[in-house]
Amino acid sequence: MASYRQWFGRGLDQDYVDSINSFWTVLLLTVCSVGSFVVRYTTTPISCWCPAYFTGPMFSYTQESCFLKDLYHNKSVMDNDDDKIFPASVPSYHLWIPLILFFQALAFKVPNIIWNSTKDLFTFNMEETVESLKSVQVTNAENRQAIFSDAARVFASLLRRNRIFLSLLYLFVKLLSCVNLAGQLMFLTIYFRQYLAIRIGTSAGIDMDSIIKPLLVKHVFCYFQVRILHNTHSHRVQCSLPITEIYEKMFIFLWYLVFLLAVITILNLVLWAGFLFLPFLRDGRIAAHVNAAKGSPPDEHSITRFISGFLGMDGVLVLTMMSRNSSELVAAGLTQHLYQVFREKEEEFKNQRNLYTEEPRGGVVFTEATRGVAALPMSDLSSGARPAERAPVK
């Protein structure tokens, strides 16, 4: 179930912006791709004005042939009075619209594929961690504390390997989403919001006439030949493509959607970067979870060491995802047990440091930390004393 949701649904290691980009937008573009393919066969995609002497089969052939051929701009043909001279043909990409939408959907999915393929290589499976701890809320208090304690110790051991790479990967995936949205917005602006592209290009001093080419045409002249016996008959008919109107409205809607997603995703990237890198933004939630535990609240310096030296950015990322996709209670419970592990390790380190800095005073000392015997200097032995002789064993 987790693997299915990882590739086809909203993962527990993603926020809502990631879910919109990698799942809902992909689903919408896939539906548009299938719908544009269905529209091709359920509506009349082209309507041509044919001579009166065309029979029914000739009319059907003209419609289908012109829909599948290169078409001409209506303005260029109307300006040309010589029927023997044809203007340059301009292809219409209405036949490729389903494939274009499919590749747009794939481009939205690529950052999520990179995230799912590489996230487990750095630390641990964050998806399974959040999923396993979601069920803790329905257990009794004793089992809940035991599960949190075990999870905290495993979590702490995994954080020893690195504390930053998972967060950098997450920010990189968000940056890829921003690049994808910028590229798609540029594509939609050039081909479906041409007047806006011309205004932007003109203000920037760019010649947009050489860049902007029509992707879809509405009113065209179609030229085709029919061979009857040994004779070839040429025909030129005027056609309109009603299907272009449907495609244009669909792409204009997608332009507004992509523009809105671009703004939201860029803001989301900036907020996440600030939350992970700036202490005054990331420390507040973790400190609140630690202070919510029973007992005397820890000092501020201890919490700062816990976040920067023990959790790192990866720990903050996982706890934040847990609070967003599970609950604040689960995130607070795990944070408190992680803080206990941190305090235990600090005390252990202090004991070991004190052990090697204190001077022994006399006698043989057995150390619990090293499970060994601490030797005493020879000056501590009495200078004139002889060791007592042991009585023989009878």
- For 241-308, list the strands marked E by DSSP: none
Q: What is the pLDDT of residue 356?
A: 65
pLDDT in tens, 276-320: 888 888 888 888 888 877 666 777 888 888 888 888 888 888 888
Pull the structure tokens for residue 117: 């393929």
Decide: 101 and 29 in contact? Cβ < 8 Å.
yes
Q: What is the pLDDT of residue 171?
A: 94
pLDDT in tens, 172-230: 999 999 999 999 998 988 888 766 666 666 666 666 666 667 778 888 888 888 887 77
User: Based on the number of CB atoms within 10 Å of its own CB, is 90 exposed (0-12), middle (13-18) or buried (19 or more)?
Assistant: middle
Which segment, 45-49, 105-109, 167-171, 295-299, is predicted with the most confidence on average? 105-109
Q: What is the pLDDT of residue 300?
A: 80
Beta partners for residue 72, in sequence order: 221
User: Position 247: which residue type?
Assistant: Y
DSSP 212-260: ---SS-SEEEEEEEEEETTEEEEEEEEEE-HHHHHHHHHHHHHHHHHHH
Better-scored residue on pLDDT, 118 or 353: 118
User: Based on the number of CB atoms within 10 Å of its own CB, is 246 exposed (0-12), middle (13-18) or buried (19 or more)?
Assistant: middle
pLDDT in tens, 142-152: 777 888 888 88
Q: Considering only CA atoms, which of 323, 257, 335 is closest in space to residue 290?
A: 335
Decide: 116 and 169 in contact? Cβ < 8 Å.
no
Better-scored residue on pLDDT, 54 or 394: 54
- Distance between CA atoms of 335 and 341, rounded to whole angstroms? 10
Which pLDDT band, with edges at 50, 70 and 90, does 384 fall under?
Answer: very low
Mean pLDDT computed over every residue of the chain: 78
Sheet holding 47-49, edge to edge: 47-49, 231-240, 219-228, 72-73
- Distance between CA atoms of 94 and 226, rounded to whole angstroms? 24
Mean per-residue pLDDT, 153-169: 80
* pTM recorded for the entire structure: 0.76
Mean per-residue pLDDT, 256-284: 91
User: Position 392: which residue type?
Assistant: P
Q: Considering only CA atoms, which of 290, 291, 273, 293 is closest in space to residue 282?
A: 273
Q: Considering only CA atoms, which of 15, 3, 59, 38 is closest in space to residue 226?
A: 59
pLDDT > 90 in the chain, percent: 21
Pull the structure tokens for residue 273: 């970067």
Q: What is the pLDDT of residue 254?
A: 94
User: Position 252: which residue type?
Assistant: I
Burial 328-355 (b: 16+ CB within 10 A, else e): eebbbbbbbbbbbbbeeeeeeeeeeeee
- Distance between CA atoms of 333 and 144, rounded to whole angstroms? 9
231-240 and 219-228 beta bridge pairing: antiparallel
